[in-house]
Structure 1
Amino acid sequence: MSSKKSTSAKQAAARSADQGKPGKTSKPGGSGSAGGATRRPGTTAGAKKGGSPGRPGGRADGAAGKAAKSAAAAPAPAEPSGPRPARIAAAAALTALEGAVLLGFGVYLLVMGLIGDPDSPRQAEMLAVTVLALALLPVAAARGLWLRRSWSRGPAMITQLMALPVAWTLVQNGGGLIAIGVAVAAVSFAVLGLLVNPTATQALGIGPRDA
């Protein structure tokens, strides 16, 4: 009997010892929610970077391509056709005459500065170069008017506005320069009147807004 009691006591003590041990903890990353919810690196980034064909960058490229195609398909502005109006021909001739006079005067000043006996040869040469450079403006304007280019109207009118002060200075000096000043002023006013005429602007392809 005593042996049975001791055996049962040992079994009760063993059971109490087993019940007092701490429970087992679950391994991290197992079948729990924390481990199962782990995502593969790069999946979301790849989805974001990959994008769909309709992303903003693709739309911008498509719009730029359409704009380039429309610009290439746009027809070039047609040049004026038909006979050259007499007003344009007269304005071109008078402007060319002004350019020729300036060229001749510039060459004369250059020759006199090189082989003549001016007070300051360097100043005479610089004046000659300046006059020759100014002569290019009416020459280019006259050619443009003859070819009926719309851009030629501006340089031609600028030439006349620059010639009017010169004409006034010549008249103020008196003597034989008065006739030259009057002639220069008459030519300038004539060209201005020809170029502001609606017939001339239409022949040059200049619309109401451009005029």
Structure 2
Amino acid sequence: MSTERKTTPEAPQAPETGPRPGRLTAAAALAGLEGLALLGGGVYMLVMGLAGSPDSPRQAETGGITLIVLALLPLLAARGLLKLRRWSRGPAIITQIMALPVAWQLLQADSAAIPAGIALAAVAIASLVLLVNPAATEALGIRGPGDVQDQK
């Protein structure tokens, strides 16, 4: 039996592994930072729900578990971006798009949440710019619409 990988004309070739662009590394770092923030917030809510005295323990526990699960999306996307995985760009972009309304709500608050909203909006916009950059898409092997290979 041969251990060579066989490719078919329908299967796209994997991008050639080369140096990872700095923009892609920065996007992965920002996505990872968001994931760690969600994870930290989720753990805090869960611990306060279990050990503290919140107004609604069930709501705090459910919110904590939800944030922990939601943290998986940007963390997995960051890992995929660092490994130059094509699939990782979609979850990373979705995470940034979901962060924008959250940032907007934080900016509408009359409290210390306003700086958090500014920071979240800045991170989300910067990440989106980095993820749609041509160098990043090329490194991930993503081709634009209409850029098809001739199949003979």
Please give the range of the TM-score, normalised by the shorter of the 2 chains.
0.7 to 0.9
Total equivalences in the alignment: 140
- Please identify which structure carries the higher helix content: 1
What is the CA–CA distance in structure 1 between the aligned matches of 2:111 and 2:53, rounded to whole Å?
Answer: 25
Select the residue among 113, 133, 136 that pairs with 1:197: 133
Select the residue among 125, 129, 136 that pairs with 2:61: 125
Is the Cα–Cα contact under 8 Å of residues 113 and 125 in structure 1 kept in the other structure? yes
The aligned counterpart of 2:74 is 138
- What stretches of structure 2 of length at least 5 have no aligned partner? 1-5, 148-152
Label 1:134 to 1:117 Cα distance change in 2 as closer, same or farther (>3 A): same
More RCO (CA 8 Å, sep 6+): 2
The aligned counterpart of 2:3 is none
The aligned counterpart of 2:115 is 179
After superposition, what is the alpha-carbon deviation per residue over 1:125-177, rounded to whole angstroms, capped at 9, x for unaligned?
Answer: 11111111110000000000000111000000000011111111111112221
Is the Cα–Cα contact under 8 Å of residues 14 and 141 in structure 2 kept in the other structure? no
What is the CA–CA distance in structure 2 between the aligned matches of 1:210 and 1:133, rounded to whole Å?
Answer: 36
Do structure 1's residue 74 and structure 2's residue 12 form an aligned pair? no
The higher radius of gyration belongs to: 1
Paired residues for 1:56-71 under 5 Å: none
Do structure 1's residue 109 and structure 2's residue 35 form an aligned pair? no
Please, what TM-score do these two structures have when normalized by structure 1? 0.63
What is the CA–CA distance in structure 2 between the aligned matches of 1:204 and 1:147, rounded to whole Å?
Answer: 9
The percent identity for this pair of structures is: 61
Is the Cα–Cα contact under 8 Å of residues 15 and 139 in structure 2 kept in the other structure? no
| Cα-Cα RMSD | 1.7
Label 1:168 to 1:188 Cα distance change in 2 as closer, same or farther (>3 A): same
Please, what TM-score do these two structures have when normalized by structure 2? 0.87
What is the CA–CA distance in structure 2 between the aligned matches of 1:164 and 1:78, rounded to whole Å?
Answer: 32
Is the Cα–Cα contact under 8 Å of residues 167 and 182 in structure 1 kept in the other structure? yes
What is the CA–CA distance in structure 2 between the aligned matches of 1:113 and 1:155, rounded to whole Å?
Answer: 29
Do structure 1's residue 83 and structure 2's residue 3 form an aligned pair? no
Moved over 3 A (4+): none
Is the Cα–Cα contact under 8 Å of residues 80 and 148 in structure 1 kept in the other structure? no
TM-superposed deviation, 1:210: 8.7
User: Partner amino acid for 1:138?
Assistant: P
Is the Cα–Cα contact under 8 Å of residues 161 and 188 in structure 1 kept in the other structure? yes
